[in-house]
């Protein structure tokens, strides 16, 4: 869990990625934890997240990521109250 604290801003993370200091390659979503609050969708700078239309066992519309748009900035990870995201 690299970005659980709010220490790094999105701009800082993107700068570190560009300089090759950190390498993030994929965003994983644990849909069983998602409660469909939409916070991640609101903060995504590239609009890579949206509601999936898939209803979880708990009755929530979960989120999905468009890998072509996602820049692995960590904004969704930092704002999610349910620890749905993992950046690997």
Q: Which residues pair with 62 in a beta bridge?
A: none
Instruction: Provide the mean pLDDT of the chain.
Output: 83
Over residues 61-77, the mean pLDDT reads 94
Which pLDDT score is estimated for 26? 82
Answer whether 0.75 is exceeded by the pTM. Answer: no
Which pLDDT score is estimated for 62? 96
Contact indicator for 66, 1 with CB cutoff of 8 Å = no
pLDDT in tens, 5-47: 445 566 666 665 566 555 556 889 999 999 999 999 999 999 9
* DSSP E strands, 1-88: 27-29, 49-55, 61-65, 85-87
């Amino acid at each position: 869990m690299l970005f659980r604290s709010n220490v790094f801003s999105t701009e800082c993370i993107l700068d570190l990625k560009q300089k090759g200091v950190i390498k993030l390659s994929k965003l994983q979503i644990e849909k069983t934890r998602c409660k469909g609050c939409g916070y991640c969708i609101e903060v995504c700078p590239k609009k890579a997240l949206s509601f999936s239309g898939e209803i979880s066992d708990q009755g929530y519309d979960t989120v999905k990521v468009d890998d072509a748009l996602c820049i692995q900035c960590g904004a969704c990870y930092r704002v999610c109250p349910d620890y749905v995201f993992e950046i690997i």
